Amino acid sequence: MGKYNGPLCRLCRAEGTKLFLKGNRCITDKCSLERRKYPPGQKGARVRFKKSNYKYQLREKQKVKRFYGLREKQFRNFFYKSAKQKGITGENLLRFLELRLDNVIYRMNFAASRTNAKQLISHGHIQVNGKKVTVSSYILKVGDEISFDEKSIKNENIKLILESITGLVETPEWIIVDTEKFLGKINNLPNREDVSLDVEEHLIVELYSK
């Protein structure tokens, strides 16, 4: 499946939940989901369809993919990696996705969205343990420190962006953030309750287990 290039707000309406794809706009009355709480294409009609188990499973997968900004191949690879780990596969999957570098940058309020975080990473603005990392899917470990490159911190445009998104999302307890030094640290592994998205991950496991 190719990359989606349409309106991002349309994805939130399709899933029936906020995916926080457009930064500050998502928490204002400009949010499309607040104004049109029905799927795109229905023109406001409250149409009810009986969904099959497969459709429920597919819907949950699409919701998680869009929330974390992944393509199908990336998502499938994370699932298979999660299935090989000890523990509950669905929870392992969500833990991997939470520990992605782009997600952590967003959760630390260092980016307006996960898409914005991907851009910061690919442009070389982010370091992990003092070394530049340009891969958004980099999986962080307990004890890893995440920071901005020294030159990036002095960049006026980046400083203005950081000031505008302070407090945009709630930073979970498993991440420690020093806002003055623009520094974060993975303090613990995320638990299931740390995932902010309303999702039934067992349906995704059922989908891929067929």
Q: If pLDDT is split at 50, 70 and 90, which confidence band does 1 have?
A: very low
Higher local confidence (pLDDT), 127 or 31: 127
Single-letter code of the amino acid located at 105:
I
| CB-CB neighbours of 162 under 10 Å | 18
Q: Report the C-alpha gap between 70 and 64 in whole angstroms.
A: 8
| CB-CB neighbours of 181 under 10 Å | 10
Average pLDDT of 1-5? 54
Give which of 102, 103, 106, 101 is closest to 161, Cα–Cα. 106
Q: If pLDDT is split at 50, 70 and 90, which confidence band does 84 have?
A: very high
Q: Residue 44 above 60 pLDDT?
A: no
For 53, 70, 101, 150, 154, the CA distances from 73, given in Å and listed in that order, are 22, 8, 18, 34, 37
| CB-CB neighbours of 139 under 10 Å | 16
Classify 22 as helix, strand or coil: coil
Residue 139 phi/psi, 5-degree rounding, is -95, 120
Classify 209 as helix, strand or coil: coil
pLDDT at 19: 72
Alpha helices in the chain (DSSP H): 8-15, 32-35, 53-68, 72-83, 89-98, 101-107, 114-122, 150-154, 156-164, 201-208
Q: If pLDDT is split at 50, 70 and 90, which confidence band does 99 have?
A: very high
**How many CA atoms lie within 13 Å of 170's alpha carbon, on the beta-carbon side?**
6
pTM: 0.76
Average pLDDT of 50-67? 90
Which tens digit of pLDDT belongs to each residue from 109-141?
999 999 999 999 999 999 999 999 999 999 999
Looking at the DSSP assignment, which residues form a beta bridge with residue 43? none
Looking at the DSSP assignment, which residues form a beta bridge with residue 146? 128, 184
Higher local confidence (pLDDT), 24 or 61: 61
Q: If pLDDT is split at 50, 70 and 90, which confidence band does 6 have?
A: low
